[in-house]
Structure 1
Amino acid sequence: MQIVKLHATTSTNDELRARFRESDTQHLTALYSLSQSQGRGNRGTQWQSDDGKNLTFSVLIKDGLFEMTPFELNQIVSVAMVEWLQTDLSIQAKIKWPNDILSVQKKLAGILIENTFSNGKWTHSIVGIGLNVNQEVFQDLPQAISLKNLTGKTFLLEQLLLQFLTHLDHALKNRAVAVSKYLSHLFRYKQQTRFEINHQIVDATVSGITQNGELLLEKEGQLTAYDLKQVRWIY
C-alpha cells in the first residue's frame, strides 16, 4: 500500500495509468491530487470539486483479478466505501446503483472503474473515486453533500484516504463476503422508486442485480434487467 500526493493533475486515473505503464507500480498504490482539472464520472460527466477541499484519488488494483468479475470488483469497492463511512465516521450511506454513494439521499461520492485487458486477460484496474469532504457549497449541484455538511467537522484528506484503503484491502481479501453485502447497502432495495426508462416516467420496485451488474426492476409483475444507459433514477 503506497500513497502518492500531487498538487495538481488533469485526471488521477490517467496519471496513475501512466505511472503503471512506466514503472512497476505496486498493488493498492493510491494517487490523490488537491486539484484535478479533468476528473471523470459515469456517463461521460465531469467530477466537480473545489481545489484542496475534497478527496479525488485513484487506486491501482492488480492482484486477484482472475478470481472475480468486473462487476464484483465494483461491488467490493462500493461496499468498502459504505462500510468505511459507517464504521469509522458514523456516516449513514447507501449505494445508488451502480456505484454512487449517497447519504441522506444526496451524492457524497462517485466511483469510476477503468479495466484493462491484454490478450483476453484482465491485467489491472484503476479505481477512481471522488469524495466530497470539506466543501460546503456546491454551485448548481443541489444533490451533492459533503462530510462537513453532514458532521460540521473539517477532515484531513490523507488520513481519510489511509482509512479507506485499509477497508478496501480487507474487502478485497474477503471478496465473497463483500459481494454478498452489496444488496443490503443498495439504495431503495425492495422499494418502489420512480425512473425514466425509454423517455418515459415509470414506477418500479428495485428487485436486485444480475451477475453482469444490470439493475433488476419489477413493474406490473414483470422483472426486467437494465444497464446504465437505459435507466435514470428520479428521487
Structure 2
Amino acid sequence: MKEHATRLALIAKLADGQFHSGEALGEALGISRAAVSKHIKVLRSWGVDIFRLQGKGYSLPAKLELLDCDKILAQVKCPSLEVIPVIDSTNQYLLERVATLPKGACCLAEYQQAGRGRRGRQWLSPFGSNLYLSMYWRLDAGIAAAMGLSLVVGVAIAEALESLGAEGIKVKWPNDLYYQDRKLAGILVELSGQAGEAAHLVIGMGLNIAMPEAEGEAIEQSWTNLSEACDSLPERNELAAALINQLHSALNDYEESGMEGFTSRWNRLDNFLDRPVKLLMGNRVVEGIARGINSQGALLLETEQGISPYLGGEISLRGC
C-alpha cells in the first residue's frame, strides 16, 4: 500500500470536486508538478475521471465520497471490517485469511487490480465508481448446506437496495442483479472445506453505482448503474453498511430455515419469472418458460415435457 500512498493522498485532495493547480497539489503532497502529472496519469489508468483545465488545474467531474471504515461501522455491527483502497481482489484477500477471520468479516476496496467474476472472468473495477465488497461466512452444516447460497445473497442485496429507495431491482438465477434487463451487480461465492467439516465461504459482490461509460465499453454484456434506479443515490458508506447488515441478516436466516425461507422472496424479485428463456449447459441448450425456483434453489423450467428443476454451476441463463 505504501507505493500507492501519494496517489491516494492526491485523490483525497481532488475528492472535493474543486479545481486544484498542479503547483498547489505538489506543495501539499511534497512532490514536483511533474510528479503530480505522472500520478494523475496512473490514476486515470485506474478509471478515475480527472480532467485538466488550462489556468485552473485538475478536477474530478463531481465530489467523490471515499469509503471510510469508521463511517460504515457507525451504521452497522461487523466483527471485522477492512477498507483497502487498492487491492488485487477482495475475495482473494479473505480466502487467504479464512483460518483467522471471525464469521461475518468484511473487506471493501476502491479499486481491484485483479477483480474476478464467475468462471475466471475479469470483473472490471474502476476506482471509486462502484462498490466491491467481500464477506467471510462459516457454515457449520458443511459444504452441502451452501447449495443455493448465491441466491440468498442476491435476495439480500436486492432487498437492501429497495430499503434505500431503489425501484425495479431484480435477481437473475443464479448470481446476478438486474435493472431493466441490464446487469447491475454480480455475485461470486467461493468455498473451501472437507466433508464432515464446516464450510468456509467467501461471498463477493461488485455493484455498479456510477460506472463511467468509457470504462464500461470493455464489458461484453448490457449493463447499468444504480444511479439509474434511484432518484436520490445513497452515499457509498451508507450503501456499504446497508449491504453488510442485510447480508448478515439473510445468512443467519438461511442457517435457520434453509432455502425454503427464501423461495417466495426470490420469486418476487425474479427478473425472468414467467418469461421465455434459454438455459445454456455447455453445448446443450434448453428453451422454456422460467417458473421461479424450488426449495433447493434449482431453476424451474417449463417445457413441452412439463416443469423440471435445473441446478449446477455451469448453467447460465439468457432471456430469449
In the superposition, the TM-score normalised over structure 2's length comes to 0.64
Q: 1:172 to 1:180 in 2, by over 3 A?
A: farther
* Alpha-carbon shift at residue 210 of structure 1 (Å): 5.0
Q: Which runs of 5+ in 2 are unaligned?
A: 1-77
Q: 1:53 to 1:121 in 2, by over 3 A?
A: same
The one of 16, 19, 28 aligned to 2:94? 16
Q: Distance in 2 between matches of 1:195 and 1:72?
A: 17
Q: Is 1:193 equivalent to 2:193 in the alignment?
A: no
> Given that residues 143 and 193 in structure 2 are in contact (C-alpha distance below 8 angstroms), is that contact kept between their aligned partners in structure 1?
no
Question: What secondary structure, in the 3-state scheme, does the structure 1 residue paired with 2:113 have?
Answer: coil
Q: Distance in 2 between matches of 1:86 and 1:59?
A: 21
Q: Which amino acid in structure 2 is aligned with residue 173 of structure 1?
A: N
* Alpha-carbon shift at residue 206 of structure 1 (Å): 0.8
Report what 1:54 is aligned to.
Answer: 130
Question: What secondary structure, in the 3-state scheme, does the structure 2 residue paired with 1:69 have?
Answer: helix
Q: Is 1:28 equivalent to 2:104 in the alignment?
A: yes
Q: Is 1:45 equivalent to 2:121 in the alignment?
A: yes
RMSD value over aligned CA atoms? 2.7
Q: Distance in 1 between matches of 2:144 and 2:284?
A: 35
Q: Which amino acid in structure 2 is aligned with residue 11 of structure 1?
A: S
* Between structures 1 and 2, the one with greater helix share: 2
Q: Is 1:128 equivalent to 2:204 in the alignment?
A: yes
Q: Distance in 2 between matches of 1:117 and 1:81?
A: 26
Q: 1:192 to 1:64 in 2, by over 3 A?
A: same
Q: 1:197 to 1:70 in 2, by over 3 A?
A: closer
Q: 1:8 to 1:229 in 2, by over 3 A?
A: same
* Alpha-carbon shift at residue 18 of structure 1 (Å): 2.0
Q: Distance in 2 between matches of 1:100 and 1:115?
A: 18
The one of 158, 175, 182 aligned to 1:106? 182
Q: For CA contacts below 8 A with separation 6 or more, give which structure has more relative contact order.
A: 1
Q: 1:133 to 1:64 in 2, by over 3 A?
A: farther
In the superposition, the TM-score normalised over structure 1's length comes to 0.85
Sequence identity (%): 25
The one of 208, 227, 240 aligned to 1:161? 240
Q: Which moved more, 1:143-152 or 1:43-52?
A: 143-152
Q: 1:94 to 1:20 in 2, by over 3 A?
A: same
Q: Distance in 2 between matches of 1:162 and 1:170?
A: 12
Q: Which amino acid in structure 2 is aligned with residue 110 of structure 1?
A: G
Q: Distance in 2 between matches of 1:63 and 1:196?
A: 30
Q: Distance in 1 between matches of 2:93 and 2:272?
A: 35
* Between structures 1 and 2, the one with greater strand share: 1
Question: What secondary structure, in the 3-state scheme, does the structure 1 residue paired with 2:108 have?
Answer: strand
Question: What secondary structure, in the 3-state scheme, does the structure 1 residue paired with 2:97 have?
Answer: helix
Q: 1:14 to 1:153 in 2, by over 3 A?
A: same
Q: Is 1:183 equivalent to 2:267 in the alignment?
A: yes
Q: Deviations over 1:143-187 (max 9, x none)?
A: 111112333655432321111111122222333333542222222
Question: What secondary structure, in the 3-state scheme, does the structure 2 residue paired with 1:172 have?
Answer: helix
Q: Distance in 2 between matches of 1:223 and 1:52?
A: 44
Q: Which amino acid in structure 2 is aligned with residue 90 of structure 1?
A: A
> Given that residues 210 and 216 in structure 1 are in contact (C-alpha distance below 8 angstroms), is that contact kept between their aligned partners in structure 2?
yes
The one of 73, 77, 86 aligned to 2:153? 77
Report what 2:305 is aligned to.
Answer: 221
Q: Which moved more, 1:218-227 or 1:43-52?
A: 218-227
> Given that residues 109 and 129 in structure 1 are in contact (C-alpha distance below 8 angstroms), is that contact kept between their aligned partners in structure 2?
yes
Q: Distance in 2 between matches of 1:151 and 1:88?
A: 8
> Given that residues 103 and 136 in structure 2 are in contact (C-alpha distance below 8 angstroms), is that contact kept between their aligned partners in structure 1?
yes
Give the length in aligned residue pairs: 233
* Alpha-carbon shift at residue 48 of structure 1 (Å): 0.9
> Given that residues 10 and 38 in structure 1 are in contact (C-alpha distance below 8 angstroms), is that contact kept between their aligned partners in structure 2?
yes
Question: What secondary structure, in the 3-state scheme, does the structure 1 residue paired with 2:129 have?
Answer: coil
Q: Is 1:174 equivalent to 2:258 in the alignment?
A: no
Q: Distance in 1 between matches of 2:156 and 2:176?
A: 13
Q: Deviations over 1:176-230 (max 9, x none)?
A: 3335422222221122234556657664111233555442322223334443424
